[in-house]
Amino acid sequence: MKNKGALLIIFITIFVDLVGFGIILPILPFYAETFGASATHIGLLAASFSLMQFIFAPFWGRLSDRVGRRPIIIMSLFFSSLALIFFGSAQNLTMLFAARIFAGIFMANFSAAQAYIADITTPEDRARGMGLVGAAFGLGFIFGPSIGGLLSSQPILASLESTFHALTSIDISGLLVGNPYRIPAYFAGFLAFANTLGAIKFLPESRKKEEIEAAKVEQRTRHSRIELMKKSILHPIVGLFVILYFLITLAFANLEATFALFTEHVHHYTSTDNGYLFAYIGVVIALVQGGLIGPLTHKYGEGRVLIAGLLIQGISFLFLPYTTTLASLLIVTGLLSAGNGLTNPTLQSLISRNTDKNKQGGVLGITQSFGSLARVIGPAWGGFFFDHIGVAAPYWSGGIMLLLCSWLAWFAAQNMRKILKET
């Protein structure tokens, strides 16, 4: 690694950011219902957030190429804190939608963070660096939902209220009447603001001044966003990997949208049971991405690790609807999570390694944009298949797609080796 200190700082920054994001996940449906939201409204809330990320992720990524990663990450964290406070202060469903749209615009900073990793890692260590980002992502989704669930429970809120009153003599009970979901949102906003201050103090810029100037000149003279998107998709190596990222994210968005329904129908699990299950999945992903990616890619190469991860995921998808015991469910979801942990960082590394240094933010932003689009389409696909074809249909269709993706990954890896030999 070129800069282990900077890698640790960006790891902590992403982790804290995703804890704040994860806090909102378990409370969003219940909070929306307090304003009379239907299931359709709740689905549209999630889609509105992803749609904004689809639109803005490439913009923030390209802007980070021109002005540096640090100001974009800090700006995103600050406005995310405002969006979360606005979310907690919502008085009606319209304000709730506005808050999620605002959050989607400014939380589209993951591409800048990934480009930061690309800046401070060598090509040989790129997959390991991306794996640490994935580990931060997994850990954020372990702690975030747990904190959100705890802070929205009435006993915890009553304890917080009495403690705050004892310390300050200020009565905050009016904040909690009829809506206990504001406190987790405010806490997430506070966490994002603290993260902003931490990034201002500790996060160094990853790009040199001459690199930023070169990117400014190149973007002015050559590439609009549409041109960059077209060039990325038509690139003989990068285009295939971006398409793979879209398809893999699509399959997983389909799973995420229906998984709680599946465990309710087949295993009779409650939301609390699912919380423990998601924590287990997050632990597996964090362990794989934080500890195994580096050694595996160094030994076998990123292409082989990517193909293995896709095969493991595809087979796990096919077996998932036939798990009837807790043990079988843990084995299959553990394998599925391990496969996902192998796939995402190697794919991001392959995209980054085959992208020009001055286009890292833009291309990784386009990649995240396609991922956001998949998160808009995937839940609709999963819900339709679950309702109209059967409980197993989302997982069979997703599994078949992932197995086809393993063939596409093999083809892309072969194509990459062929082109690199010719050059």
Q: What is the pTM of this model?
A: 0.70
pLDDT surpasses 80 at 298: yes
| 82/88 Cα distance (integer angstroms) | 10
Query: What pLDDT sits at residue 306?
Result: 93
More confident residue, 405 or 280: 405
Query: What pLDDT sits at residue 338?
Result: 92
Query: What pLDDT sits at residue 309?
Result: 94
* Residue closest to 131 by CA, chosen among 298, 310, 314: 298
Q: What percent of the chain has pLDDT over 70?
A: 81
Query: What pLDDT sits at residue 395?
Result: 93
Query: What pLDDT sits at residue 356?
Result: 72
More confident residue, 19 or 356: 19
Band (114; pLDDT cuts 50, 70, 90): confident
Q: Which of 76-85, 266-275, 341-350 has the highest mean pLDDT?
A: 76-85
Query: What pLDDT sits at residue 47?
Result: 77
Band (246; pLDDT cuts 50, 70, 90): very high
Q: Which of 48-62, 206-220, 352-366 has the highest mean pLDDT?
A: 48-62
pLDDT surpasses 90 at 34: no
Q: Region 256-274: what's the mean pLDDT?
A: 75
Alpha helices in 89-125 (DSSP H): 93-106, 110-120
* Residue closest to 364 by CA, chosen among 341, 344, 336, 343: 344
Query: What pLDDT sits at residue 319?
Result: 95
CATH superfamily of 4-422: MFS general substrate transporter like domains (1.20.1250.20)
Query: What pLDDT sits at residue 38?
Result: 75
Band (159; pLDDT cuts 50, 70, 90): low
Query: What pLDDT sits at residue 315?
Result: 96
pLDDT surpasses 70 at 385: yes
| 151/185 Cα distance (integer angstroms) | 9
pLDDT surpasses 80 at 109: no
Mean pLDDT over each residue of the chain, to the nearest integer? 80
| 398/80 Cα distance (integer angstroms) | 32
Which range is least confidently modeled, 148-152, 196-200, 271-275, 411-415?
271-275
DSSP output for 138-205: HHHHHHHHHHHHHHTSHHHHHHHHHHHHHHH----HHHHTT-TTHHHHHHHHHHHHHHHHHHHHH---
Query: What pLDDT sits at residue 210?
Result: 73
| 257/255 Cα distance (integer angstroms) | 5
Which SS3 state, helix, strand or coil, does residue 268 take? Answer: coil
Which range is least confidently modeled, 42-46, 304-308, 311-315?
42-46
Q: Region 348-367: what's the mean pLDDT?
A: 75
Query: What pLDDT sits at residue 94?
Result: 93
Query: What pLDDT sits at residue 313?
Result: 95
Query: What pLDDT sits at residue 13?
Result: 81
Query: What pLDDT sits at residue 235?
Result: 66
Query: What pLDDT sits at residue 360?
Result: 67
Query: What pLDDT sits at residue 78?
Result: 93
pLDDT surpasses 80 at 127: no
